[in-house]
Chain A
């Protein structure tokens, strides 16, 4: 690799840098440049075609789900101003005069430059078929595009997307979400032809069709038909078929926007793209090109954002005069992992087996919707692969393919489901990339742990920037840090925090055996310092479980996180949400009306939760007792949505109403929810009861789930949704009601006693030695002889339960903490403001002028909400 000479050191006067294009790559370039020590030498002007600053185009689809343009914005507020960057919106560059070193903008302004960076991106390719420009035809690239699609969709019933690639499927998802009957027309014989093979494409198609999208592959678009009003009315395919459609979205690939470069005589690639070297410099040493408009040193034009970011950083270092040996861009991995229309798809390395002598190993299970293919070289090296339906192993396989070492694990082991396969002895090489957003290698992370003394993921994040982009590598990062610590002989640090050299389970035992009832006694006798936000809530939870008394009594009031402290859930603007308990999800019409009236009177935002209850949002801290006074009077009690405790027990309607039900699932759910309400645990606990094997209550996605059989109840444990979904395992089958409840009692108490802080039942089950079998032996056969103790603890919990909110309302001392300001108790927090949206309120965003609440709101909403 030759090291290129870079620009000479900047003279004293600031030199002019003009960036053409303010898209994702342009913005990243600016961020990378201002980070460089030599950045101050440049006076930066940005010419943008679009009317707004750079935004996150990758997540454009989230606009349909309500993500506002402001949330998609990429530049931090003040970023441009702080660095003296002159951004000119809506005034694109029109011509470059390289001899004079000037750029002329569309509005006729002429700017001189010492360095010019092209980041013009690409434009969607619209096939020149008849009717392609009729009203109702769209592309899918900018916020203006999605706004136009959304506006058109209001008068449309059917929509067609031309192109079944990554972006086409995104667009199809958006049309489906807008309520349109959606067609995808793809020229290639399968969807996502670039990324997946035939088998993966088949499964992908089936999954996409299950979502109601009509897929036409091997179909070329012949013409777009228009009605008398000139608007799209349908389209004709090459085989003569006609599709009725009111709207067409072209998503058939992109073309680099290299017109400026061509017009000024810069070298461009044969198939387009401004030709650049490994420093992203064009044929003119004063002009750089980055991102989708550039043809990289390896002759390819990259249409993904990660290579664009890498080019942005390369160019920034070259311009700042600080490129290191490795700061070159010679090509990038185009591996992808994504979720399209809810289907996980990943492809990496030589996914199509193009290499000579490549062989493949395929695992295909169309019943559960999983397809995995690994491409293996004749010499046993992993070359690439395709994963559809289950991409969990992507993080492990991709580095193996990139590493080029022969596999030590038989490849068939690597594609089998986790329960059948083994993790294998294969370790990715040092230069395997862990964090693609910031291009951080496995070796760099190991070095941070070994040589820089990082022992936690946050420390590694701060030290290497790994995991600070999209965040998807954080679990892999955690595993790598733990692995490295263990290998280093340090052992994984299981200390709770700097104040206690114990695990949560050890502290639980200390409290249980010593009978300590206060944090002060515990930290002074068994720890050091004053405690922190980690250990204090843990101790509060342990004390609450082993001792009676209100969670806010005495010193305990100081241990709780704000949610537990005010018995509500903190929201992003400092207001709180309130969730009354609705046991089993069963609620009377009078109860619904009462909640509705309270929400209306306080002007709250309401939403139905996934746990079959009603969330009331936008309550200011001083309103909490007023809202709860009304809820308690209407017969409601705390739902403990704020606590590390039982949340809900969901249920289906069961045999009482359902034609298929075999047991009374609602009755059992209510009994369980009332039994375990308020139970403090290491992590939140969720449960559900299904009345038959159809499992409509999704019980297997819960910490403890019960499914009715014709002769009793099956108990499943250790399931959860969230980031790492896991189905619960069967602990015991066909239990009668009494045995079932006793078994759950013991399971929960054993978990509470032995689990770590924030360790869910799933992780706990995987960690305890002996796993599920061990837990079964403890709770069903009393293998440890502790069942009587566990039963007694649960009995004490059930007998000692009191509604926390009722208790607060009865006590003026506890009520004092709900003042907005200690010196002005009646004054509402002026920083908590709201604006109307879809007939309700939402928190005002930074820079938005919202309305604060009026004090002492008891009759009538504080904020008038107008429906648009």
Chain B
């Protein structure tokens, strides 16, 4: 029995999809009620993470299409555009500190709920109540 996974934009919860529809190792893009784009991933162990879909290095909304992996034990996603790697737990880019426009290269981490609790433990700590 697996439920739906939802993401919180600060005001409302938006339904993403059923937990079982998330492919391990892969991401999906979500459009929140506030019009923001969020990238949601499920790793091999079953943990779910949600970060901004916008890649600060290219400005394109493509993070959800990146490859999941690990660096020194930390769960990561690599942007498909210029292959910058981000830590899924705090959204920080582990390759460079700042984006070309001078802003910090950090993806916002979005609160999630549901689904994973029933199916698999949110091992990475990516699922949090707001």
Question: Which positions in A face B, CB cutoff 8 Å?
Answer: 76-79, 82, 458, 462, 498-499, 520, 529-533, 535-537, 555, 557-563, 565-566, 570, 572-574, 621, 817, 819-824, 827, 829-832, 846
Partner of A458, one of B21, B73, B81, B95: B95
Q: By the criterion CB–CB under 8 Å, are B102 and A76 in contact?
A: yes
Docked Cα-Cα span, A760 to B66, in Å, equals 25
- Shortest Cβ distance from B40 into A: residue: A822
Q: By the criterion CB–CB under 8 Å, are A76 and B80 in contact?
A: no
Q: A450: shortest Cβ distance to chain B, in Å?
A: 23
Q: By the criterion CB–CB under 8 Å, are B31 and A533 in contact?
A: no
- Shortest Cβ distance from A530 into B: residue: B70
Q: A844: shortest Cβ distance to chain B, in Å?
A: 11
Contact (A827, B80) CB under 8 Å given A530-B68, A558-B25, A822-B21: no
Mark the stretch among B52-60, B105-113, B114-122 that contacts chain A.
Answer: B52-60
Docked Cα-Cα span, A555 to B68, in Å, equals 13
Q: By the criterion CB–CB under 8 Å, are B31 and A823 in contact?
A: yes
- Shortest Cβ distance from B80 into A: residue: A562
Contact (A570, B81) CB under 8 Å given A533-B67, A558-B26: yes
Partner of B17, one of A82, A557, A822: A822
Docked Cα-Cα span, A831 to B53, in Å, equals 11
Q: B116: shortest Cβ distance to chain A, in Å?
A: 16
Docked Cα-Cα span, A565 to B28, in Å, equals 12
Partner of A536, one of B15, B17, B43, B67: B67
Q: By the criterion CB–CB under 8 Å, are B44 and A82 in contact?
A: no
Q: By the criterion CB–CB under 8 Å, are B15 and A823 in contact?
A: yes
Residues in A with CB closer than 8 Å to B60 are 572-574, 831
Within 8 A of A (CB), among B25-65: 25-26, 28-31, 35, 37, 40, 43-44, 54, 58-62, 65
Q: B85: shortest Cβ distance to chain A, in Å?
A: 7
Q: By the criterion CB–CB under 8 Å, are B23 and A570 in contact?
A: no
Residues in B with CB closer than 8 Å to A821 are 28-31, 37
Q: A831: shortest Cβ distance to chain B, in Å?
A: 4
Q: By the criterion CB–CB under 8 Å, are B59 and A557 in contact?
A: no
- Shortest Cβ distance from B76 into A: residue: A532
Docked Cα-Cα span, A565 to B78, in Å, equals 14
Contact (A572, B102) CB under 8 Å given A462-B96, A530-B68, A531-B69: no
Q: By the criterion CB–CB under 8 Å, are B37 and A831 in contact?
A: yes
Residues in A with CB closer than 8 Å to B21 are 822
With A499-B69, A846-B59 known, 11 other A-B pairs at CB within 8 A are A76-B101, A77-B102, A530-B68, A533-B83, A558-B26, A562-B80, A563-B80, A570-B81, A572-B60, A822-B16, A822-B30
Q: By the criterion CB–CB under 8 Å, are B102 and A831 in contact?
A: no
Docked Cα-Cα span, A555 to B70, in Å, equals 17
Q: By the criterion CB–CB under 8 Å, are A532 and B78 in contact?
A: yes
Docked Cα-Cα span, A822 to B70, in Å, equals 24
Q: Provide 15 A-B residue pairs closer than 8 Å at the C-beta atoms, listed in order of the A residue.
A: A78-B102, A529-B70, A529-B73, A532-B67, A537-B67, A558-B25, A558-B68, A559-B67, A562-B65, A821-B37, A822-B17, A822-B30, A823-B15, A824-B31, A829-B29
Q: B72: shortest Cβ distance to chain A, in Å?
A: 7
Residues in A with CB closer than 8 Å to B40 are 822
Contact (A520, B85) CB under 8 Å given A533-B66, A822-B29: no
Residues in A with CB closer than 8 Å to B66 are 533, 562
Partner of B54, one of A82, A498, A831: A831
- Shortest Cβ distance from A827 into B: residue: B31
Residues in B with CB closer than 8 Å to A531 are 67-70
Interface of A (DSSP majority class): loop
Q: By the criterion CB–CB under 8 Å, are B23 and A557 in contact?
A: yes
Q: By the criterion CB–CB under 8 Å, are A79 and B76 in contact?
A: no
Q: By the criterion CB–CB under 8 Å, are B69 and A79 in contact?
A: no
Residues in B with CB closer than 8 Å to A831 are 37, 54, 60-61
Q: A209: shortest Cβ distance to chain B, in Å?
A: 41
Going nearest first, the 8 A-B pairs with the smallest beta carbon separation are A558-B25, A532-B69, A533-B78, A530-B70, A574-B60, A562-B80, A822-B28, A562-B65
Residues in B with CB closer than 8 Å to A830 are 35
Q: A868: shortest Cβ distance to chain B, in Å?
A: 26
Q: By the criterion CB–CB under 8 Å, are B80 and A555 in contact?
A: no
Most chain A beta-carbon neighbours within 10 Å: one of B26, B66, B72: B26
Q: A543: shortest Cβ distance to chain B, in Å?
A: 14
Q: A77: shortest Cβ distance to chain B, in Å?
A: 5
Interface check B100, CB cutoff 8 A: yes
Partner of A823, one of B17, B62, B75, B101: B17
Residues in A with CB closer than 8 Å to B100 are 76
Residues in B with CB closer than 8 Å to A570 are 62, 65, 80-81
Q: B75: shortest Cβ distance to chain A, in Å?
A: 7
Docked Cα-Cα span, A170 to B61, in Å, equals 38
Docked Cα-Cα span, A729 to B38, in Å, equals 50
Residues in A with CB closer than 8 Å to B73 are 529
Docked Cα-Cα span, A529 to B73, in Å, equals 7
Q: By the criterion CB–CB under 8 Å, are B44 and A530 in contact?
A: yes
Interface check B128, CB cutoff 8 A: no
Interface check B24, CB cutoff 8 A: yes
Docked Cα-Cα span, A846 to B100, in Å, equals 13
Q: By the criterion CB–CB under 8 Å, are B65 and A820 in contact?
A: no
- Shortest Cβ distance from B28 into A: residue: A822
Residues in B with CB closer than 8 Å to A846 are 59
Within 8 A of A (CB), among B1-26: 14-17, 21, 23-26
Docked Cα-Cα span, A820 to B28, in Å, equals 9
Docked Cα-Cα span, A805 to B62, in Å, equals 22
Residues in A with CB closer than 8 Å to B67 are 531-533, 536-537, 558-561
Residues in A with CB closer than 8 Å to B35 are 830
- Shortest Cβ distance from B77 into A: residue: A533
Residues in A with CB closer than 8 Å to B37 are 821, 829, 831
- Shortest Cβ distance from B84 into A: residue: A533
Most chain B beta-carbon neighbours within 10 Å: one of A562, A572, A822: A822
Docked Cα-Cα span, A819 to B28, in Å, equals 9
Q: A84: shortest Cβ distance to chain B, in Å?
A: 13
Docked Cα-Cα span, A380 to B103, in Å, equals 52
Q: By the criterion CB–CB under 8 Å, are A530 and B69 in contact?
A: yes
- Shortest Cβ distance from B43 into A: residue: A530
- Shortest Cβ distance from B37 into A: residue: A831
Q: By the criterion CB–CB under 8 Å, are A529 and B69 in contact?
A: yes
Most chain A beta-carbon neighbours within 10 Å: one of B58, B69, B95: B69
Residues in A with CB closer than 8 Å to B96 are 462
Q: A525: shortest Cβ distance to chain B, in Å?
A: 14
Residues in B with CB closer than 8 Å to A824 are 31
Residues in A with CB closer than 8 Å to B62 are 562, 570, 574
Docked Cα-Cα span, A821 to B24, in Å, equals 17
- Shortest Cβ distance from B99 into A: residue: A76
